Structure 1
Amino acid sequence: MKKETFQDKLIKRFYGIVGPLDEYKRREANRIGNICFMFSLPFLLVASWLALLLADKSPKLLATYFPLAILAFFFVVSGFIMLRGRQAGLASYDPDELSAKERKQVERAGLRAGIYFASWFYLWNAALAIWLDKLPPVAAFSSLKTLCSALFAGCLFGLFSHFIVRKRQLDTE
C-alpha cells in the first residue's frame, strides 16, 4: 500500500475528502482549485493596485476596508469550494473503503473540531485582550469571560461539525 504524501493529506483535509484520494477526486480537486485561482489572482492584483493608489490619500479608509474586502472575497471563494466539492462528490465516501484509523477519525470529527476551535478561540481572545485592552498576560489568560466564551464557541462548533459529519454519513448509506 502506497503511503500518503503530505500534499495528499493537505488536499484531503482542505476539500473534506474521506477515504482514499483516487484519480477522480484528485482531478476534481485540481479543477476546483484552478477555478478559484483564476478568480483570486485578478482580484488580488486589482485590490493591491488600488491599495497602492489609496495608501497616501486615505490610509485610514484603506486600513479599514481593504482587509474586509479580502476577507469577504475569500469567504465567497470558500463557499464556492464547498458547493462545488459537494456537487462533485468529493465529500462522499464508502464506509467499506475506509481503514480502521479513518473510521475512527470520522466518528470523532465533531469532537476534535470543537476542541481545536475552542483552543484557538481561547488563545485568540486572550491575545486580543493583551493587545487591545492592554491586559497583563496572566489576567488575559485567566479571565473567566475568555474561558467561558471559548468553551461555548467550541461546544457550538463541535455540535455543528458533529451534525454535518452525521448527515454526510447518512447520505452515503
Structure 2
Amino acid sequence: MSQSGPASAQAEVTIAADADAETVYRLITDLPTLASLAEEAHAMEWRKGDAARTGAVFRGHNRNGSRSWSTTCTVTAAEPGRTFAFDVRSAVIPVAHWRYDIAATDGGCTVTESTWDRRPGWFRVPAGWVTGVKDRDTANAEHIRRTLQRLKEKAEA
C-alpha cells in the first residue's frame, strides 16, 4: 500500500484460472473490461495517463441499486502479468486500496484480489448512506468473489 494501514486486507479472495497471467493482467488493466466484471463499478476512464502505469489516475463510477457515486483512483503498482494496485479517494478523503496479484501456475494462473478500507472513522457512516452498504468488509468479500468468477470466465473463454 502506498500509505500506512492494516497489514492484512479486510477482504481477499483467490481464484485459479486456466489462462496465462499476461491475459488476465490485460483484462484487469483494461478499465472498461474491469468495470464490466466488477459488482459496483459500472464505468472507469483514464484521467491522467492512458494505461496502467504507476502514478496514472482514473475515475471510477459506481452504483448500488439507485445509489451512485464516483471516486478517483491512483495506480500504485503496475507490473505486467503480476500486479495491479490502486488507491481510491473521494475528493481528498482516502477510501480504499485495491490490489490484484497474479501468479503463474502450471495450468494457468491464480488471481488474488484484495482490498484495504482506508476511510477515516468519521467518514464510514456517511459513506454507508451514500453507497447503501453498511458492512463494507462483508460486501467487498462477496463483490470480489463475483468479480473474480466473471474474470475467470472471460479469461478462459
Query: What TM-score, normalized by structure 2, do the two folds share?
Result: 0.27
Q: Which has the higher helix share?
A: 1
Q: Which has the higher strand share?
A: 2
Q: Which has the larger radius of gyration?
A: 1
Query: What TM-score, normalized by structure 1, do the two folds share?
Result: 0.25
